[in-house]
């Protein structure tokens, strides 16, 4: 074991997931059906009660959960339902994965980047508010670098905000919702990392207008690929449900007649093909039942890392909190105290068989957005600073203690 490579991530799946897939394969129904429906109901029950048992949440929860084939599709559907279109802007953190911003472009709108707060990986509510204020005044999103002129970057009516619960650490949703209400913009939580992050006000992903979860292979629970949209507003949920599957409305017939005709439907929009097949939903139902146990395992790994790196001047512990789903362990490096660069340290870890990653390369430094919005790396200094000194260490639930200890020992050795 001691010489085997330690991957950055490894899904925790077992016999139960295998049996669930076999059950669906043998049933004759592979696409979206009863399993996806059950997964949605159980997921809603979980967000209401902390348990997937549906009985406890009956009568049926007003929380609508819609299974989709990725969080990216879910974010796209959420923005579409909020009416985002050409000429609009949507505010997103610069410190996130490309999904959060690309969905804005799908709709012909423009993402506006907001820096993270000093000492935090989360979007800065103060920066958020000042950017909203500029946009509402019809000014360009970003202030001038030299203080002269009115600034640069996109203009356009802000229609929505997408806070990201980085690593599963919930954003200050009370502050963000307060700002959103003042400016009358919708809030969509990118909760791709944040299942289950339970705050005093409820689960992350159920604290705004719409929340979107990811079941990508490396995420806290997985279906290989997949996602879930959580939304309380019935009209938004209906729109997302229709657009998720070709823009087909099946309720029309029932409106005019008591009879149900299984063959009849009307296409009301050119919708998308974003549904989750039953094969994947069956895996998701098993994973949902494991959610707390998997979190416990990630918490234990994080505690071992914390104990090893605390008080060591070379490292800065990742910010965390009681509601943290612990999707990532993004250890900070105090570069001033180290002889090697962050990139060299990563290279040396990889040479010794330890998989690590970096969350995130800020979006404003990516060629597409840099060119499109005329951005420079220093325009969002907190995102840049955090990116330059962070290494995400492996934190997957199946890690053995010896593996966690080897990561610690190797990292300490290469930074000696």
Ligand X SMILES: *Cc1c(COP(=O)(O)O)cnc(C)c1O
Q: What is the set of active-site residues?
A: 219
Q: Smallest gap, in angstroms, from Cβ of residue 298 to ligand X?
A: 15
Q: Which residue, 54 or 217, has its beta carbon nearer to ligand X?
A: 217
368: its two tokens: 């597409």
**Closest residue by Cα to residue 383 from 405, 359, 407, 352:** 359
Interacting span for ligand X (CB under 6 A) from 22-30, 150-158, 188-196, 243-251? 188-196
- Tell whether residue 131 is a contact of ligand X (CB under 6 A): no
What's the rounded Cα separation, in Å, for the pair 235 and 81? 9
Name the H helices within 184-277: 234-244, 251-256
How far apart are CB 216 and ligand X at their closest, in Å? Answer: 4
**Which candidate, 46, 19, 20, places its Cα nearest to that of 35?**
20
User: Which part of the chain contacts ligand X (CB under 6 A), choosing from 5-13, 189-197, 246-254, 291-299?
Assistant: 189-197
By beta-carbon proximity to ligand X, the closer residue of 96 and 383 is: 96
**Tokens standing for 378?**
């220093």
| Closer residue to ligand X, CB minimum distance, 74 or 158 | 74
Beta strand extents in 21-170 (DSSP E only): 64-68, 88-93, 110-114, 157-161
Q: Tokens 């969509």 map to which residue?
A: 188
Binding of residue 362 to ligand X (CB under 6 A): no
Task: Tell me the closest approach of the beta carbon of residue 74 to ligand X, in angstroms.
Answer: 8
Counting contacts by CB under 6 A, is residue 194 touching ligand X? no
Considering only residues 135 through 174, tell me which ones interact with ligand X, judged by CB under 6 A.
Answer: 164
Least distance (Å) between residue 360 CB and ligand X: 8
Identify which of residues 207 and 414 has a Cβ nearer to ligand X in the complex: 207
CB of 267 to ligand X, least distance (A): 26
Residue nearer to ligand X on the CB measure, 140 or 284 = 284
Stretch that binds ligand X, among 82-90, 91-99, 249-257, 372-380 (CB under 6 A): 91-99
User: Do 195 and 220 touch, CB atoms closer than 8 A?
Assistant: yes
To ligand X, the closest distance from the beta carbon of 93 in angstroms equals 9
Nearer to ligand X, 70 or 373 (CB): 70
Q: Least distance to ligand X from the beta carbon of 351, Å?
A: 27
Which of 64, 96, 220, 304 is the binder for ligand X (CB under 6 A)?
96
Give the residue from 232, 212, 215, 188 showing the smallest Cα distance to 291: 215
What is the pairing mode between strands 210-214 and 202-203?
A: unpaired
The window from 82-90, 92-100, 291-299, 404-412 that contacts ligand X (CB under 6 A) reads 92-100
Confirm if 349 and 411 have CB atoms less than 8 A apart: yes
Helices 401-414 and 278-309: angle between axes, nearest 10 degrees: 50
Pick the piece of the chain touching ligand X (CB under 6 A) from 57-65, 190-198, 256-264, 391-399.
Answer: 190-198
* 192 belongs to the binding site for ligand X (CB under 6 A): yes
For residue 247, report the phi and psi dihedrals to the nearest 5 degrees.
70, 30
Residues 226 and 241: their CA atoms lie apart, in Å, by: 16
CA 131 to each of CA 120, 153, 161: distance values in angstroms, whole numbers, following the listed order: 19, 11, 11
Contacts (CB under 6 A) with ligand X, residues 61-90:
70-72
One of 64, 89, 94, 99 touching ligand X (CB under 6 A):
99
Interactions with ligand X, residue window 199-238 (CB under 6 A): 214, 216, 227
Cβ nearer to ligand X, comparing 140 with 397: 397
Angle at 227 between CA 37 and CA 296, to 5 degrees: 100
d(C-alpha 47, C-alpha 52), whole Å: 8
Q: d(Cα 198, Cα 363) in Å, to the nearest integer?
A: 28
Q: Which span (94-102, 136-144, 297-305, 371-379) binds ligand X, by CB under 6 A? A: 94-102
Give least dist CB 82 to ligand X, A. Answer: 17
* Residue 190 found at the interface with ligand X (CB under 6 A): yes
Print the SS3 string covering 163-180.
Answer: CECHHHCCCCHHHHHHHH
Cβ(253)–Cβ(361) under 8 Å?
no
Interacting residue with ligand X among 39, 46, 97, 274 (CB under 6 A): 97
Q: Give the chain's length.
A: 416
Give the footprint of ligand X on this chain (CB under 6 A).
Answer: 70-72, 96-97, 99-100, 164, 190, 192-193, 214, 216, 227
């Amino acid at each position: 074991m001691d010489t085997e490579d330690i991957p950055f991530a490894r899904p925790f799946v077992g016999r139960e997931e295998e049996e669930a897939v076999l059950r669906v394969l043998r049933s004759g129904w592979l696409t979206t059906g009863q399993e996806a429906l059950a997964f949605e109901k159980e997921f809603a029950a979980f967000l209401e009660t902390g348990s997937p048992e549906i009985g406890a949440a009956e009568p049926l929860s007003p929380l609508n959960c819609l299974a989709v084939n990725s969080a990216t599709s879910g974010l796209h559907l959420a923005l579409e339902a909020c009416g985002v279109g050409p000429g609009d802007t949507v505010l997103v953190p610069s410190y996130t994965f490309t999904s959060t911003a690309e969905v804005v472009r799908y709709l012909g709108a423009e993402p506006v980047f907001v820096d993270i707060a000093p000492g935090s990986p989360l979007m800065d509510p103060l920066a958020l508010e000042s950017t909203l204020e500029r946009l509402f005044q019809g000014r360009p999103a970003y202030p001038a670098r030299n203080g002269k002129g009115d600034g640069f970057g996109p203009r356009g009516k802000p229609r929505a905000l997408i806070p990201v619960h980085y690593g599963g650490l919930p954003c200050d949703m009370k502050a963000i919702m307060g700002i959103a209400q003042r400016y009358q913009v919708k809030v969509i939580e990118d909760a791709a990392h944040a299942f289950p992050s339970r705050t005093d006000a409820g689960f992350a992903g159920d604290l705004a207008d719409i929340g979107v979860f990811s079941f990508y292979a490396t995420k806290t629970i997985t279906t290989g690929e997949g996602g879930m949209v959580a939304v309380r507003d019935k009209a938004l949920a209906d729109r997302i449900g229709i657009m998720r599957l070709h823009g087909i409305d099946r309720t029309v017939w029932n409106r005019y007649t008591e009879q149900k005709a299984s063959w009849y439907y009307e296409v009301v929009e050119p919708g998308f093909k974003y549904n989750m097949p039953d094969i994947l939903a069956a895996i998701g139902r098993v994973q949902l039942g494991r959610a707390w146990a998997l979190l416990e395992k990630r918490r234990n790994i994080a505690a071992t890392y914390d104990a090893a790196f605390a008080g060591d001047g070379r490292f800065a512990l990742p910010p965390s909190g009681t509601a943290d789903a612990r999707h990532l362990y993004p250890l900070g490096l105090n570069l001033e105290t180290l002889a090697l660069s962050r990139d060299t340290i990563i290279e040396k870890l990889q040479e010794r068989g330890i998989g690590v990653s970096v969350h995130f390369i800020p979006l404003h430094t990516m060629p597409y957005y840099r060119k499109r919005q005329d951005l420079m790396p220093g325009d969002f200094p907190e995102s840049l600073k955090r990116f330059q000194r962070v290494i995400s260490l492996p934190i997957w639930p199946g890690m053995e203690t010896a593996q966690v200890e080897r990561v610690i020992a190797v990292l300490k050795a290469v930074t000696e």
